[in-house]
Structure formats: C-alpha cells, structure tokens
Amino acid sequence: MPNSPARILADLGFRYDPANVYQQVITQVLEAGHRLNLPRHLQLIMAEPKSEVMVHFPVEMDDGSFKLFKGYRVQHNNILGPYKGGIRYHHGVSLDHVKALSVLMTMKCSLAGLPLGGGKGGVQVNPRELSQDELMRLTRRFTAALGDNIGPNHDIPAPDVGTNAQVMAWMADTYINFNNATHHGSGAAVVTGKPVAFGGSVGREKATGQGVVYVIEDLLPEMISKPLADTTYSVVGYGNVGSWTGKLMAAHGSKLLAVMDHTGAIAPNDVAEGLDAIALADYVTETGGVANFPGSKPISEEAFYTTKVDLFVPAALEQMIGTKEAQMLNCRVIAEAANAPTTPEGEKVLAERGIDVLPAILCNCGGVVVSYFEWMQNRQSEIWELDRVDAELRKHMRSAAAKVLAARTELDCDMRTAAFAAALKHVAEVYRLRGIFP
C-alpha cells in the first residue's frame, strides 16, 4: 500500500527499528493519517521535521575546567504558527527522542486549537550533577548556541523534564541580551513557563497537571461508573506534572495508593487513608524523591505496577509501559500525563486486557495551552488572573476532548488514533486553505 506508514517510512530511508521512539510515535501518527485518507504529500511532510538543529557548546565548570555539551532543537511543523515546545535536560536526551516529542507538539497544539506549531529541544546532561551556577552557564551557552533558531515569532521554548521556571528566566534573559530586546517588549515572549515576576503566567506551573485532572474529571467517572471521590489511583513520576496531578486529585478526595520515582516505590501504611498527595509533593521538593515518605512503606516495582487501582497515571518518561508493565497493571484506565509513555507492544496488551488509554496529546496539552496564554499576555502587555487562566484552560481541554470523542465515533477507532486523526485533520485543512497543497 503506497500510503501505509511502513511504506512512507521506507521511502524516506528509515531502517525499521521497532524500539526506536521516533518510529513508534510517527507510525502511530501516520496510521491515523492513513485512516483519514490523508494525501501522501501530507503524510510525507508529517513524517520528518522541517528542521533539526544540533549544537555543541563548551561550559565552564566550577573547578575551572570546560565540558562540551550536545543540545538539540527540532522544529517539526509550523503551518499553524510558530514552533512551540519544551526543553529537556536529561542524560538520555537523543535526537530521536527530541524528534518524537516535537511531532507530539505539532499534534498537541493542533488538537488544543492553538495557533502554534510543534518543536522540542534538549541537552544531554544530568542537571542534578551541576551546581546552580553551572546550570545557569549551561543554559546561557545553549541559548546563545541556538541563536536565531529561537524567537518570539519563530520558535518558543518552555520547561520540560529537568528544566523549570528559573531555567526559562535564564534563557529569556540571554535571548534579550543577545537581541537587544527589552523585557517589556516581545523579548520575554521568547520562552514560556517563566517565573510570574518575570513575565510568567499564573497557573502555568500547575497547568499540565490541571489539564490532566480536567480530562479525568470530564471522562473518568463515566468510564469507571464511580465519582472521583471514590476513585483510587497510582502515579509514576512525581515531578511537576505528577505532583500537580496528585495535589489536584486530592482536592476531589481521590485516593493515592502507590507512587514510584527514581528513588523507589511507596505505598501507604494505611490503605484506607491512602498517601497524602499534597504533603508528598512538598516532601519530594525538599528531599528529591518519594523514598521514606512518612506514613508510607517501600514496595517493589512489581508491587507498584500490580497495585489495584481505578486509574494509573504515568507522569515520568517515554516508553515506560512496555509489554511487561502492561501485563502487570491492575487498573481500568490510564491517563497519559507523560509524553509517549506506552509502547505499541504495551498498548496491544492493554487493549487485550480491556484497559482504556486516555492519550497524552489530550491529557497533557494543558501545559502548552497555558504557555500560549503566557505568550499572548507578554505580547499584549496583559496580566491575567488565575480564574481566567483556569476557565480558558478548561474550555480548551473540553474542546480537545470533544474532538477526540467525535473522531473516535467517526473512525470507529481507539482514543489515541482518534486524537491524532483530529489533530491531523486540522493541520490538513490549514494546508488546503492556505493553498499550499490540495
């Protein structure tokens, strides 16, 4: 079949590698395109990013030595607007990871109805091994190395794994200095997720978790025939997204029965009470991980995955739910807070076991939605209040969920395919309206 994902990728010279995260993600996107009968030229455009920037830059360490770092910015597609997407600091960052995450940004922005395209970046580094000064120098050198590849009208980074509001403030400051842009002009709009005092938006820090919880509020009770107050859940990854999801689920009275991060997995001593999700967030900020949280006991990875819950929330890295984890999971629904957490093999097992998956581009698009609000505020010199941010975010999340449900009915497919199809349909329409392609 000339338009099958395998044929498109083979024509582009990909060597089949089922473990490759980019091939996994792009195959899912192309499958949705194939189902929509998307023309071959659009499938080809989606199959590779428009541009892949790779930089090497030296950074002075505190002891006076220099280290060379590798960074990426991949710009997947900008038909809908400037490239948009986070910057990751992690030792496992590779070109294929960043490419996969950039495609997901194109899909996410389209599904969320934003006038933004998709990009993603990262630096191969373990930020925990650097002092704050080293982290600042690394961020400034990376931003300088990216040069004109980023800009408020062109490509707008944001936080992701291993980066935060402080890193965004350093990026914005470096960009402003290099470009002679003023703080109150469009300079600060070069990145989002900044500290509120320096052009950030209220509500951005919690936005991704908030979006996840809005989706859960709207879709989960019907799927499991239970109110959120009686819902049990577990989470892997208790960083920004995982901990905000936990804190907001706590407000509904949902019970957190297991959490895992790099420091280990824990369960409550008193199952009837569950873990205190709010206190756990503070504890992780203070200690760096969930291990030894008061009122909890350590459990094995297997015990974590087999804990019986209504909902499982992956909020760590890609490809964490493979065949083994999918076989162990003892839940009814998965809300993907992380990007691409489920492998295709894992997904098959979940489908066989009747576990529904709420896909990442729907669940976690709240982060980029509030980033869009921040970008607009910066450009219009406005400051929104939290009620407005939350109300507008809720509208975007509801509209994105409605598009996914409609596409699922129309195409009679799973939620992930439906989400990609809804996103692609909008991208294809804009290509057609602009007269670029039929």
Ligand X SMILES: NC(=O)C1=CN([C@@H]2O[C@H](COP(=O)(O)OP(=O)(O)OC[C@H]3O[C@@H](n4cnc5c(N)ncnc54)[C@H](OP(=O)(O)O)[C@@H]3O)[C@@H](O)[C@H]2O)C=CC1
- Binding-site residues: 84, 108, 208, 240, 371
Binding residues for NAD(+): 208, 240
Is 240 a binding residue for ligand X by CB under 6 A? The answer is yes
Quote the tokens at residue 356: 């529904």
Residue 192, interface with ligand AKG (CB under 6 A)? yes
Query: Least CB distance from residue 12 to ligand X, whole Å?
Result: 25
Nearer to ligand AKG, 47 or 103 (CB): 103
Can residue 194 be called a binding residue for ligand AKG (CB under 6 A)? no
- Selected from 21, 260, 389, 397, the binder of ligand X by CB under 6 A is 260
137 vs 233: CA distance, rounded Å: 40
CB of 419 to ligand X, least distance (A): 14
Amino acid at the residue 391: A
- For the chain, the first-to-last Cα distance in angstroms comes to 21
Neighbours of 294 (CB within 10 A): 9
Marked catalytic residue, from 120, 194, 206, 255: 120
Quote the tokens at residue 46.
């989606």
Helix (H, G, I), strand (E, B) or coil at 353: coil
Q: Angle formed by the axes of helices 132-146 and 165-179, to 10°?
A: 50
Q: Which span (15-23, 52-60, 301-309, 365-373) binds ligand AKG, by CB under 6 A? A: 365-373
**How many C-beta atoms lie closer than 10 Å to residue 417's C-beta?**
23
- 234, 342, 371, 417: which one binds ligand AKG (CB under 6 A): 371
| Shortest distance, position 255 Cβ to ligand AKG, whole Å | 28
Asked if residue 117 binds ligand AKG (CB under 6 A), the reply is: no
206 noted as active-site residue:
no
Site for ligand X in 278-337 (CB under 6 A): 289, 315-317, 337
Among 23, 339, 342, 377, binds ligand X (CB under 6 A): 339
Stretch that binds ligand X, among 45-53, 75-83, 181-189, 231-239 (CB under 6 A): 231-239
Q: How many residues does the chain have?
A: 438
Answer whether 275's CB lies under 8 Å from 257's CB.
yes
Taking the complex as a whole, how short is the minimal distance between the CB of residue 281 and ligand X, in angstroms?
Answer: 11
Rounded Cα distance between 257 and 280, Å, is: 12
Question: Rounded to whole angstroms, how far apart are CA atoms 311 and 62?
Answer: 45
146 or 331: CB nearest ligand AKG = 146
* Choices 23-31, 83-91, 266-274, 349-357 (CB under 6 A): range interacting with ligand AKG: 83-91
Output phi, psi for 231, to 5 deg. -90, 140
Q: Which of ligand AKG, ligand X, none sits in contact with 314, Cβ below 5 to 8 A by type?
A: none
Q: How far is it, in rounded angstroms, from Cα 118 to Cα 423?
A: 12
One-letter amino acid identity for 172?
A
- Contact call for residue 85 and ligand AKG (CB under 6 A): yes
Residues 188-227 that bind ligand X (CB under 6 A): 208
Check binding of 160 to ligand AKG (CB under 6 A). Answer: yes
Q: Which does 85 bind (CB under 5 to 8 A by kind): ligand X, ligand AKG, none?
A: ligand AKG
Q: Which residue type sits at 385?
A: E
**364 in contact with ligand AKG (CB under 6 A):** yes
Report DSSP letters for 357-379, one per residue.
EE-HHHHTTHHHHHHHHHHHHHH
Query: CB of 136 within 8 A of CB of 89?
Result: no
Which one of ligand AKG, ligand X, none is in contact with 377 (Cβ closer than 5 to 8 A by kind)? none
The residues, any chain, with a CB within 8 Å of residue 37's CB and separated by 6 or more, are: none
Residues 6+ apart with CB under 8 A from 278: 246, 247, 250
Tell which residue, 305, 265, 271, has the closest CA to residue 289: 265
Q: Given candidates 9, 38, 241, 335, which one binds ligand X under the rule CB under 6 A?
A: 241
Q: Which is nearer to ligand X, 43 or 243 (CB)?
A: 243
Tokens 């199809």 appear where?
A: 421
Question: Considering only residues 41, 91, 183, 262, which one is a binding residue for ligand X as defined by CB under 6 A?
Answer: 262
Contact residues: ligand X, CB under 6 A: 159-162, 208, 236-242, 260-263, 289, 315-317, 337-339, 364, 367
